[in-house]
């Protein structure tokens, strides 16, 4: 059985995961950090450390983004009130693909289609049970590559994204025709 101790193995492998939030995301960040640590991941908590002291989300989004791109962590989790501001901040760091996720569906697609390396959650907009399910999906879903590879590569050309890829049919479009 693929189990370690009493904790079911939901993930393909253990990872180093940087987590960060502002005050509005502190409680969800704490819950996510515990959830990931309980599952065997190495969690690197970059703050903030209190829900009672107002701080600026760009500080923590950038910190998680840098940790992921400098190799301190393999992936990241960012939480603010909505997940929007901290995700914008993380995406300013070159090499970051931070995705705002609301549920299991968006978490899975962020990995499968966008190869997102940071999941962004709204502590005030998403319930904890849904958020933890989304986190499980995010950390156990692989990038599909294929037609999505060129699109993701385009995101890594700062200031010049948008070159069209080679012509080819997209199965998702075929399915809908």
Cβ 16 to ligand RB5, closest distance in Å? Answer: 25
Q: Does residue 113 have an active-site annotation?
A: yes
d(CA 42, CA 89): 23
Which residue, chain included where needed, has tokens 């933890």?
A: 132
Q: Which of 102, 113, 148, 150 is catalytic?
A: 113
Cβ 82 to ligand RB5, closest distance in Å? Answer: 4
d(CA 101, CA 105): 8
Contact, 76 vs 18, CB < 8 A? yes
Cβ 21 to ligand RB5, closest distance in Å? Answer: 8
Q: Does residue 78 have an active-site annotation?
A: no
Q: With contacts defined by CB under 6 A, name the span among 74-82, 98-106, 108-116, 167-175 that binds ligand RB5.
A: 74-82
The pairing of strands 75-80 and 16-21 is: parallel
Residues making contact with ligand RB5 (CB under 6 A): 22, 24, 57, 80-82, 84-85
């Amino acid at each position: 059985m693929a189990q370690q101790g009493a904790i079911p193995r939901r993930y393909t492998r253990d990872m180093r995961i940087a987590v960060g939030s502002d005050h509005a995301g502190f409680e969800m960040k704490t819950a996510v950090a515990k959830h990931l640590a309980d599952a065997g991941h190495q969690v690197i908590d970059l703050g903030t450390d209190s829900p009672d002291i107002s701080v600026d989300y760009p500080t923590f989004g950038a910190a998680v983004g840098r940790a992921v791109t400098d190799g301190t962590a393999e992936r990241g989790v960012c939480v603010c009130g909505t997940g929007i501001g901290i995700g914008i901040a993380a995406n300013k760091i070159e090499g970051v693909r931070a995705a705002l996720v609301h549920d299991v569906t968006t978490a899975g697609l962020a990995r499968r289609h966008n190869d997102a390396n940071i999941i962004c959650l709204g502590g005030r907009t998403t319930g904890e049970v849904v958020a933890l399910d989304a986190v499980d999906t995010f950390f156990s879903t692989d990038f599909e590559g294929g037609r999505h590879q060129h699109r993701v590569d385009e995101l890594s050309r700062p200031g010049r994204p948008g070159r069209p890829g080679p012509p080819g049919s997209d199965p998702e479009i075929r399915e809908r025709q």
